[in-house]
A and B are shown apart, each in its own frame.
Chain A
Amino acid sequence: MEKNKHFGFYLDQTRCVGCRTCQLACKDYHDSPIGVSYRRVSEYEGGSWVKNENNLLQPFNVFAYYSSIACNHCDDPACTKACPTGAMHMGDYGIVDVDTSKCIGCKSCAMACPYGAPQFNEHTGHMSKCNGCQERLDEGMMPICVDACPFRAIEAGPISELREKHGHIAGVAPLPAYEITRPNLCIKPEKNAQPSNKGNGTAHLPQTLSEVSYDIV
């Protein structure tokens, strides 16, 4: 894609089954340590169980869907505004990235971003995040997550073209409303998908549940 066009992602929630291949492929390619995931797959689920006339519990509107989200390289990024040193900046393709020579690892960007995109790397002491696999874009390739998806649920490219193809929806629960940071993201919602801030489900990011170590046998 051309450097003066704004880069963005498309997610087809009807195809995303939460396999997390995108997340692992990204981790492997960028050699991210434990605790750092440039792309994250959250679960959103809801519904309830109600008694029928025989006192038998039956499912009522039970649903689940996944959102695989990296950085949306927003038009109005919260992270750059929060960054006290100017390390977090917008560059070619409108891609938001960290200048590690300026980053002091204060995590302000991580706290500001409603998508959880900036990731603190405790080995380097700096923030890190999705840069759209810029060196791949430079040579006409797709980000590694896009080429990895076994279900072809993610696309990337100039956001104007993605929106023309897939529409403008980006505010799907549990993600924030579009207006907050104006993400370069468009989503084909799952049939149960609910709008931002109006969803009646629960979001779940499994990696936050337990710690992992190599102490195994």
Chain B
Amino acid sequence: MYEISRRRFLQWSGALGGGLASSAILPLPSIAEDVKTVPSSKKYDSIKWAGCTINCGSKCPVRVFVKGGKIDHIETDNTGGDEFGSHQVRACLRGRSNRYRVYNPNRLLYPLKRIGKRGEGKFARISWDEALETIATKMKEVKEKYGNEAIYLTYATGTTGAIMNRCTAGPWVRLLSLFGGYLNYYNSYSTAQITDGLNHFYGTSRGSDIMNIEYAKLVVMFGNNSVETRMSGGGTGYAYKCALERGGAKIIHIDPRYSDSLVGACDQWIPIAPGTDGALIAAMAHVMISEDLHDKDFLSKYCVGFSSDTLPEDAPKNGSYEDYVMGRGEDKTEKTPAWAESITKIAAQTIINLAREIATTKPCFIAQGWGAQRQSNGEQAARAIATLAAMTGNIGSIGTNPGTREHTTGWIEPAPLPYKNPIKDAIPCFLWTDAIVRGKEMRDITDGVRKTTQLKQNIKFLWNTGGNCLINQHSDANKTAKILEDESLCEFIVDVNVTRTSSNRFADIILPDATPLEQEDFVRSSSGYSNDRPYIVYSQKAIEPLGESMPIYDMCTKLAEKLGGETLKNAFTEGRTQVEWLEHLWDVKFKDKEGMPTFAQMKEMGILKLPRYKKPLVGFEKFVQDPIANPLKTPTGKIEIFSTALDKMAKTWILHEGQTITPLPVFTEAKDGPLDPARKTYPLQIFGYHYKGRTHSSFWESAPIREINPDELWINPVDAKERHIKTGDKVLVYNQYGTMSIVAKVTPKIMPGVTSCPQGGWYKMKNGIDVGGCINSLTTHEPSAIAKGNPQHSILVEIKKA
């Protein structure tokens, strides 16, 4: 068994940092001890490695068992022993359900063109030649009429982690760049507020590896749910469980719902009203300041603006966080635990106890998932939670996490497919519907447009590939549908997917993509959430693509020829096939790297697992060791509890009514948030959580996985009783944006006044009601103030029995 004692471990301090294992001078791991999993009585044509490329933040290896040219079933990594540390990367039910995805009755087998009104969902089969000819003609027309700035490739994550078959990178951006470019986007639907918020705090949003939990005495999680969102072997779920078992830290989860991360391990559940994390942190700060428990040395050495003595010169008087908390700031309100109780719905005594415990227990691992930040005031919440880590000095040493989401120690990936978009203009990815309607009005200080002061064009040509954001995952589905239906706004929509979706109802042309099991590709552990054990998978083509579906690289090659003849085609391919590109990209990165296999070896092996790092990544370790030599990438080089950049932004940006930008991570009231007066009409807060049975909206199309993960609306017995609702009842959830129908589950696992359903159910309108259980029937297009991100957890609703 792989074991390192704590004593021995501490001697390793600083031995290995984070980052890429590309320069791995590590011994090639043996996969010879492959554990047998095939009974000799069963005869298969072949067993091939592939990867699950859906964006849960993992990317697990799967093995595809083929019989008679068809996939018989899916298994997972079976190499090596299975002791933790050298364990198998076991795919979850989503990865294992890939067979159902391939043979899904709604699988796209041929190119389709729209024959009804846009959005009506009527399509007819056409040839690849007709499809690509139509697309090329329209692309040239839009380029001619509006310029390349009118072409947009939407944010999507239905196929990520692969090198060649990707939604918004790889062949698409290469081809569109060669065609003259396209309007860029920045940030994501997952992390807009936390990324932007923490960039103004630490200069980055990266944290420590979750394995630090093993060395922590206390773990405090805000809206962080590893075992549901990242439950597979490539994710953090198993590592979280093992680290808790091995280290024995006390664990507290602060979350409106009793998530599965609380099962088995958790010591305390503190339910909190969604969108109020900033108030809880302020009240904890009040306790710490009043009782002199905060880490003043850490704050004065590493931080800006906690107290007035570290405020920048041009900061307002009484502008420190301490001033805000103690009621000396603008609002003249002391942020006492009693003040926070009425906002957060956490008892004042619980807040006091929590503050004392966090302040007096080191090391404390403080982390936030991406739930707390997906709010109208999400940037503030994200920065407030990070402030808690700073206040208690739990940054930079083993066993701590700087209040960010946990990060990975290292990962491996070949070089990306090269491209250079001549257009630099970028919009926040959430604002593409706005850019269709009023693109030319969108400015840097009004809409967060970057690399230009104002957009040149409205979006006229939409590419959507491996994505369901056109309708399902974007906010306010009903309003979005109206925008997309109007052919005078966005003139052409192309959708590429493996299945029919709610989104491609709105396409003019649908192109059938091949699944990862039907082509050769690399699948890298996505964003490296594999923690401290990097791996990479070579997807060996297991079966021929179904029908006329084809890999993205091939369709882009054919489209390149339609757009610019042999010249553009050759510029795009550089004479390489998909596999030749994979070899080239592997060699660019790993050729002659000691310890790394050759491409041919990698192709044969299917999976490469590097040895575990001896020490997990500790966020901001170098900065804490020497802040002068290793300054942060913030304007002051320090941790900015008072953000100098946000202070400037607050004075210059033009905001919508109700939006605020503040230099301090204060609690702000949010539109559709817990204190919105609209709560009189819509008394319940609702938020969507990531479901085990799908990743966002992917996998929903497979009935066998949905059978055991049906859509359920969690409602507290107190709220259910008032509305005469019992488990199994069909209910209508409604507000000013729309109405959704879903089955109720009455459970004490959700706090009163709050209700919740898994996000990603497929939007399906029937008589003005979404019967698909798509939470975006209820969400708003109004972006958050700073990041212009999707505030999809700021929602108010009322519920009644259907």
Contact = CB atoms under 8 A, between A and B. Distances in A.
A47 B748 contact: yes
A209 B263 CA distance: 22
Interface stretch (B385-393, B498-506, B665-673): B498-506
A101 interface: no
Interface string A175-217: 0000000000000001100000000001010110110111011
Contacts of B410: none
A68 to B, nearest CB: 11
B105 A58 contact: no
Nearest to A47: B748
A166 interface: no
Interface string B669-706: 00000000000000000000000110000001101111
A100 B44 CA distance: 25
Given A13-B264, A150-B232, A58 B347 contact: yes
A24 B701 contact: no
Interface in B75-92: 75-76, 78, 82, 90-92
A148 B258 CA distance: 25
A57 B712 contact: no
Interface residues of B, number: 78
Contacts of B231: 17, 19, 21, 150-151
Interface in A103-158: 135-136, 138-141, 144, 147-152
Nearest to A192: B263
A25 interface: yes
Nearest to A147: B37
Contacts of A21: 90-93, 96, 231
B265 A14 contact: yes
Given A19-B692, A28-B96, A217-B501, A152 B711 contact: no
Interface stretch (B176-184, B233-241, B651-659): B233-241
B418 interface: no
A151 B258 CA distance: 19
Given A65-B264, A150-B233, A213-B703, A19 B749 contact: no
A199 to B, nearest CB: 14
B327 interface: no
Given A34-B707, A59-B748, A209 B341 contact: no
A16 to B, nearest CB: 7
B263 A64 contact: yes
Contacts of A27: 704
Contacts of A41: 708
A48 interface: yes
A27 B91 CA distance: 15
A63 B41 CA distance: 45
B258 to A, nearest CB: 6
A29 B264 CA distance: 28
Contacts of B749: 45, 62, 64
B106 A214 contact: yes
A59 B272 CA distance: 11
Interface string B201-242: 000000000000000000000000001100111000110010
A64 B36 contact: no
B718 interface: yes
* The 5 A-B residue pairs with the shortest CB-CB distance in the complex, in nearest-first order: A24-B93, A14-B264, A21-B93, A17-B227, A17-B260
Interface of B: 36-37, 39-42, 73-76, 78, 82, 90-93, 96-97, 99-100, 104-106, 121, 227-228, 231-233, 237-238, 241, 258, 260-265, 269, 271, 341, 345, 347-348, 350, 500-502, 505, 692-693, 700-701, 703-712, 716-718, 727-728, 743, 745, 747-749, 751-752, 762, 764
5 contacts: A18-B260, A20-B693, A29-B75, A59-B271, A217-B762
Interface of A: 13-21, 23-25, 27-29, 31, 34-35, 37, 41, 45-49, 52, 54, 56-59, 62-66, 135-136, 138-141, 144, 147-152, 190-191, 202, 204, 206-207, 209-210, 212-214, 216-217
